[in-house]
Chain A
Amino acid sequence: METNLQTGVEQAGKSHGSGEVLIRLEGVTKVFYTDEVETHALAGVHLDIKKGEYVSISGPSGCGKSTLLSIIGLLDSPTDGKYWLDGAPVESLNLSERSRIRNREVGFIFQSFNLIGDLNVYENVELPLTYRGMPSAERKQRVMESLERVGMAHRVRHYPSQLSGGQQQRVAVARALAGDPAILLADEPTGNLDSKNGEAVMELLRELHREGATICMVTHDPRYARHADRTVHLFDGRIVDEQDHRAHDEEENPSVS
């Protein structure tokens, strides 16, 4: 996979100035067919995300944000259009390869946490690592590291139902981090949290971004959207506006690289 990604780099080019392009979407459409109804969830999306970039996606309900995120995360495939991930075209991948990439290159954070209730905190975070066949000593180290990152190392034996919503989301973030993915995808990570807990999770993401993580986050909340380098506005399956926050943020937040 690694070599494949490398060779792809030349084809995909480096159009966005400074960093390498990690994700490139060209004319991506997604049509859902249900009971004779066609829903055009995405209608020709062009989007580049560079390595180390923090992009937020916003837009009204039903405009296609989650759909876009799941295509980026290889949970779903586009009806039409092109998608390069780290320079490699994605459409040629089979099911098993897609699983592999999801496992190694993508970290998901969901609005509803999506922890597995039958597994404790430790096992939840460990789960993506077990699918890599990683030796358990290494797994343990990674799991504990990422739980410490999110401040949940003291709760390893707890079950999700024994945690608050904010704690659950921190565990979910730890799970997304543990595999050291190329990109973190977060779909309304604060949607089920109160403002205090939401704030904490956003702070965590910002920290990760400062340390170099590539993040793509869906959010309704303009306050949180401004944490990102730039915000992409989606409407009816199209990108209608892009807003770069880096200019303004420079003053408030000079530490951003």
Chain B
Amino acid sequence: MSALIQDLKYGLRMLAKSPGFTSIAVLTLALGIGMNTAMFSVIYGVLLRPLPYPQPSRIVEIARTYRGKLESYAGMSARGFDFWKAHDEPFQYLAASTGMAFNLTGPDEPERIDGLRVSADYFNVLGVQPFLGRGFSSAEDQLGGANVAVLSYGLWQSHFGGDRHALGRSVLLDGVPYTIIGVMPKGFESIPPVALWTTIGQVRKTMGGGWNYDVIARLRPGLTPRNADAYLAPLSRFFFAEVAPDMKQSRVNSLRFVATPYRFMITNDIRTPLLVLFGAVGFLLLIACVNVANLLLSRTTTRNREMALRTALGAGRGRIFRQLLTESVLLSTFGAALGLVVAVWGLDSLLALAPNVLPRAQHVALNGWALFFTAGSAILAGLLVGLAPGIAASHANLNESLKEGARGAGLSVRHRRLSAGMVCAEVALSLILLIGCGLLVRTFANLLAVNPGFDPRHMLALQISTKGSQYSSMPALAAYYRELTARIEAIPGVQSAAVVAAGSPLERGGNDNPGVFVHGELQHPSVDYREITPGYFRTLGVPIVRGRPFTEADSSGAAKVVIVNAEFARQHFRNQNPVGQHLISGKGQMEIVGVAGDVRSSLNAPAPPTYFVPMAQASFAVDQLFQSWFPTSILVRTSVDPLSLGREVVNAVRAANPNIPIGRVQSMEETLALSLATERFSMTLMSVFAGLALLLAAVGLYGVISYSVARRTHEIGIRMALGAQRADVLRLIVKQGLQLTLIGVGIGIAAGLGLTRFLSSLLYGVKPSDPITFIAVPSILAGVALAACYIPARRATKVDPMTALRYE
């Protein structure tokens, strides 16, 4: 114990003696540890943190694998849910939910709120009951059941002032009264978090017809998801036979139902980017450690004499090793302390960077686990940092050290190899990060270069919802939209306006399975569906490549017409002209009167085949259904900055009808930026990590070359005395640095080729082995390395041979 205290005291004294070294080492480690802590906090909060329900590991979602690979979206139809209710042996409770938005009308302005339709056992699956009133009964949860609602604590507070007598009163949702039967406890959040819950049974004919339900379950006590899988898998065949008899047999054979931990399912989209970034930041810490280890190594061996002396005086190798480890762990402890500051700041910036990217982001914080992680990585870093110099010192040849020490020469050959090897490793590691960064930057550039099919500049998009409003038919809605767009078009600076329902450009939208005759055979392909006003294509600037756009004449009474997009025509009409052909819906035939240019729903995928119907001819029920998931959008083409007209457009909407709630108002360029939020998040973080890695590697290389120049001053003096020109000296030093760099680059490229495949799902328009990246990035790195070597090399040419030789 006293030996430890002595080691600590001595270590502190040594660190205090060289404040420059100590602060660089501590800063480097703080950066590495801090960034890792921040990233870990995100990983923990988003991916690892248990769901905030009792015994959360028992909550699973019934998901599907396709050829053994988990499908990221696990939609179920109402009949599918029925099937599992009949086959629920491994489950204590089983429930379905589907998210939907409601128009909440009351004494104040109408509001669009997020709700969740859930089946009766939903709260039982989560294991949380209302703190006031009760949950849903199965009598309520069916077609024709009573309209009842459970409020969130927040909505209860804001709209009922926390009044216990709210129970039994009603709320108007989409114009329909729902009786309040319960209030959930404070802090309770469902997935996704919503303001209120109501029953799902009522919509089994509408929403339940599609694959729109999430089915979750609470496992019976003692069962694992694996047990449930064993039960579900053999039932898959029967499921499809009963629920989807039309499905192709080959596809049925490839699909299996599995019980996947719910926590896992809700983070499917973000998991890979987060893990990749976590790996990247881990590399960064490794680089930081190697950097400090190298600093420590060169310092240790300038202290060779001291070490040799200590050995000569009888200190055992173990003792010296321990002394060095004590110093490095001290360094990493200080690094971790400062790293926490870096982490707080890093986490803030990270979360600010990703407002819409991270699910459960509101729970991401530096908590106990993060501190535990910090402490762990500090100890690990300390050991890692101290290992190389420790081993080097304890294996040092005493005689050699004293001899070399006498000549003031520093590192032995073995130490220098170790040091050089570490620089190579740093270069290789940072190259891997840079390559990853290069690929993500190229991906982002590719996405930005994608033509979405329309010009997003000078365009404003407002979300509205007409659910439960006074407009109870499509002709009424169409008339309202006509007035609305006319009012908006009267605003100076507005060129044109249009309304689209069931999905807006650059966002997900609804789909449908209309009948199409392909080579005389009736098929029902799954295609996207939109309802539009006549000005839609004109406002977007999307060309009508064949036929005609809709006009006001395409009214509810007129012949049913549709327009398809070019992708639809390509996929389902091949070389034929679609104009004049028909789509078949439940209510009859619709004539295709035009083919429009493609507009993307997401930049990283081609436009889905889509058909458009005139607003006035759409089905009111379908319109209302789609409004539950996708807000209706007013698109405004402006000749000025679109956001500058926001206020006036909102006023025009209010003037047309004050009872229609207005949601998000944003420019189409903002929508575009938001649609790239995940990509931007990954790219930005990767760039930051790679940039820091490059900096650290450059500093590491600079340090080693500088040290080498300092060590070789005498040698350089001799060389100059023997007639070496400045260019000879410059070449000598730069060559040394470039050799290390090239070895590191070689290793980095090889490792990069192996590792970038983990990135492949994050890439767009660029292969993981993209030759441009694999050539350009190493060149940049080599350039930086050259600069890092050039500075000490220039210093070497300034060596005065007289002084160098005299110094001896």
Question: Within residues 116 to 157 of chain A, which ones have a CB less than 8 A from any CB in chain B?
Answer: 116-118, 127-128, 131-132
**Residues 92 to 110 of chain A near chain B (Cβ within 8 Å):** 95-96, 99-104, 108, 110
Residues of A within 8 A of B720 (CB): 99
Contact assessment for B805 and A96 in the assembled complex, using a CB-CB cutoff below 8 Å: no
Residues of B contacting A112 in the complex (Cβ-Cβ under 8 angstroms): 808
Q: Tell me if B723 and A103 are in contact (CB < 8 A).
A: yes
A257 at the interface (CB under 8 A from B): no
Q: Is A161 engaged at the interface, CB distance under 8 Å to the other chain?
A: yes
At the interface, yes or no: B648 with Cβ under 8 Å from chain A?
Answer: no
> Are A99 and B802 CB-contacts (below 8 A) given A112-B808, A114-B718, A116-B715?
no
Contact flag A102-B721 (CB < 8 Å), given A114-B805, A117-B409, A161-B403:
yes
Determine the distance from Cα of A146 to Cα of B718 in the docked complex, in whole angstroms.
19
B653 to chain A, nearest CB (A): 80
Q: Which residue of B lies closest to A116 (CB)?
A: B715
Q: B205: CB under 8 A from chain A?
A: no
A100, A108, A117: the one contacting B721 at CB < 8 Å is A108
**Is A100 a contact of B726 with CB atoms below 8 Å?**
no
Q: Which residues of A contact B721 (CB under 8 A)?
A: 73, 75, 102, 108, 114
Min CB gap A229→B, angstroms: 26
- Complex contacts, B725 vs chain A, CB 8 Å: 96, 99-100, 131
CB-based nearest A residue for B728: A131
Q: Are A128 and B718 in contact (CB under 8 A)?
A: no
Quick check: A131 and B723 within 8 Å, CB to CB?
yes
Name the distance in Å between A68's Cβ and chain B's nearest Cβ: 13
Q: Flag if B719 contacts A127 (CB, 8 Å).
A: yes
Which chain A residues border B715 with CB–CB below 8 Å? 116-118
Chain A, residue nearest B718 (CB): A114
Closest chain-A Cβ to B508's Cβ sits at a distance in Å of 65
Count: A-B pairs, CB below 8 Å? 55
Q: Using Cβ atoms and an 8 Å threshold, which residues of chain A touch B479? A: none
Whether B724 and A99, one on each chain, are in contact in the complex, defined by CB atoms closer than 8 angstroms, is: yes
What is the distance, in angstroms, from A202's C-beta to the closest C-beta of chain B? 22
Q: Which residues of A contact B723 (CB under 8 A)?
A: 99-104, 128, 131-132
Report Cα–Cα, A128/B719, bound state, in Å: 8
Q: How far is the CB of B460 from chain A (nearest CB, A)?
A: 69
A70 at the interface (CB under 8 A from B): yes
A59 shortest CB reach to chain B, Å: 18
Instruction: Please give me the residue from chain B that is nearest to A103 by CB atom.
Output: B723
Interface residues of A in 61-115 (CB under 8 A from B): 70, 73, 75-76, 95-96, 99-104, 108, 110, 112, 114-115
Quick one: which of B715, B719, B721, B724 has the most chain A CB within 10 A? B721
> Which residue of chain B lies nearest to A118 when distances are taken between CB atoms in the complex?
B715
CA distance A16 to B343 in the complex (A): 81
Closest to B416 in A: A118
Q: Any chain A CB within 8 A of the CB of B505? A: no
**Alpha-carbon distance between A70 and B802 when the two chains are bound, in angstroms:** 8
Report chain A residues within 8 Å CB of B409. 117
Query: Is B5 an interface residue, CB under 8 A from the partner?
Result: no
Q: When the two chains form their complex, are residues A103 and B722 in contact, meaning their CB atoms are under 8 A apart?
A: yes
Inter-chain CA distance A177–B724, complex, in Å, is: 17
Of B719, B722, B801, chain A has the most CB atoms within 10 Å of the CB of B722
Complex Cα gap A127–B716 (Å): 12
Which B residue sits closest to A175, measured CB to CB? B722
Task: A172 to B720: give the CA distance in the assembly, Å.
Answer: 15
Q: Among A70, A76, A118, A131, which residue has its beta carbon within 8 angstroms of that of B722? A: A131
User: Complex: how many Å from CA A95 to CA B720?
Assistant: 11
State whether A127 touches B722 (Cβ < 8 A). yes
Q: How far is the CA of A255 from the CA of B588 in the complex (A)?
A: 129
Chain B residue at minimum C-beta to C-beta distance from A95? B726
**Chain B window 395-418, contacts with chain A (Cβ cutoff 8 Å), 1 for yes, 0 for no:** 000000001000001000100000
Complex: A227 Cα to B626 Cα, angstroms: 110
CB distance from B806 to the nearest CB of A (A): 8
- Chain B, Cβ-Cβ closest to A172: B718
Chain B residue numbers with a CB within 8 Å of A108 are 721-722
Name the contact of B802 in the complex, choosing from A75, A100, A127, A175 (C-beta under 8 A).
Answer: A75
Mask, B724-748, CB within 8 Å of A = 1, is: 1110100000000000000000000
CA–CA, A76 and B720, complex, Å: 12
B716–chain A nearest beta-carbon distance, Å: 10
Chain A residue numbers with a CB within 8 Å of B801 are: 75
Bound complex: CA of A190 vs CA of B413, how far in Å?
29
Closest residue to A117 on the B side, CB-wise? Answer: B409
Please, how many angstroms separate the alpha-carbon atoms of A63 and B680 in the complex? 72
Task: Give the distance to chain B from A142, nearest Cβ to Cβ, in Å.
Answer: 14
Bound-complex Cα distance A112 to B721 (A): 14
What is the bound-complex CA distance between A96 and B720, given in angstroms?
10
- Kindly provide the distance from the CB of A190 to the nearest chain B CB, expressed in whole angstroms: 17
How many Å from the CB of B304 to the closest CB on chain A?
15
Chain A residues within an 8 Å CB radius of B724: 99, 103, 131
Q: Please tell me if the beta carbons of B722 and A102 are within 8 angstroms of each other in the complex.
A: yes
**Nearest chain B residue, comparing its CB with the CB of A71:** B802
Q: What residues on B are CB-neighbors of A110 within 8 Å?
A: 805
User: How many angstroms from the CA of A127 to the CA of B720 in the assembled complex?
Assistant: 11
State the Cβ distance, A74 to closest chain B Cβ, in Å. Answer: 9
Most buried by B among A76, A99, A132: A99
Nearest neighbor of B717 in chain A, beta-carbon distance: A114
Cα distance, A134 to B725, chains bound together (Å): 15
CA distance A95 to B800 in the complex (A): 11
Task: Tell me the complex Cα distance, A104–B728, Å.
Answer: 16
Q: Which residues of B contact A104 (CB under 8 A)?
A: 723
The interface residues of chain B lying within 8 Å CB-to-CB of A102 are 721-723
Q: A75 CA to B403 CA in the complex, in Å?
A: 28
- A114-B808 contact in complex given A70-B802, A99-B720, A102-B721, C-beta closer than 8 Å: yes
Q: Chain A nearest CB: distance from B181 CB in Å?
A: 85
Q: A100 — which chain B residues lie within 8 A by C-beta?
A: 723, 725
Q: Complex: how many Å from CA A100 to CA B727? A: 13
Q: Which chain B positions have C-beta within 8 A of A76?
A: 802
B549 → chain A closest CB, angstroms: 79
A67: min CB distance to chain B, Å? 9
Chain B residue contacts of A114, Cβ below 8 A = 714, 718, 721, 805, 808
Chain B residues within an 8 Å CB radius of A96: 725-726
Complexed CA–CA distance, A128 and B720 (Å)? 9
- Could you tell me the distance in whole angstroms from the C-beta of B333 to the nearest C-beta in chain A? 37
Residue of B with least CB distance to A107? B722
Interface string of B767-808 (1 = CB under 8 A from A): 000000000000000000000000000000000011001001
Chain B: minimal CB distance from A89 (Å): 20
CA distance A112 to B802 in the complex (A): 14
In the bound assembly, the distance between CA atoms of A70 and B720 in angstroms comes to 13
Interface string of B681-721 (1 = CB under 8 A from A): 00000000000000000000000000000000011001111
Given A75-B802, A114-B808, A128:B726 Cβ within 8 A: no
Specify which of B413, B722, B805 is in contact with A128 (CB 8 Å cutoff).
B722
Q: How many angstroms between the C-alpha atoms of A116 and B724 in the bound complex?
A: 14
Whole-angstrom CA separation of A167 from B769 in the bound complex:
56
Taken residue by residue from 241 to 254, chain A's Cβ proximity to chain B (1 for < 8 Å, 0 otherwise) reads as 00000000000000
Nearest Cβ distance between residue B404 and chain A, in whole angstroms? 8
- Which residues does chain A contribute within 8 Å of B802, judged by CB atoms? 70, 75-76
Bound: A196/B148 CA distance, A = 112
Closest B residue to A187 by CB, please name it. B805
In the complex, chain B residues 294-310 whose Cβ is within 8 Å of any chain A Cβ: none
In angstroms, Cα B319 to Cα A117, docked, is 31
Please list 21 pairs of residues, one from A and one from B, whose beta carbons are closer than 8 Å in the complex, sorted by A's number. Answer: A70-B802, A76-B802, A99-B723, A100-B725, A102-B721, A102-B722, A102-B723, A103-B724, A104-B723, A108-B722, A110-B805, A114-B718, A114-B805, A115-B718, A116-B715, A116-B718, A117-B409, A117-B715, A118-B413, A127-B719, A131-B724
Contacts A96-B725, A102-B722 supplied; 19 other A-B pairs, CB < 8 Å: A75-B802, A76-B802, A99-B720, A99-B725, A103-B722, A103-B723, A104-B723, A108-B721, A110-B805, A112-B808, A114-B714, A114-B721, A114-B808, A116-B715, A116-B718, A116-B719, A117-B715, A127-B719, A127-B722
Closest 8 CB pairs of A and B: A103-B723, A128-B722, A102-B723, A131-B723, A114-B718, A116-B715, A99-B725, A99-B723
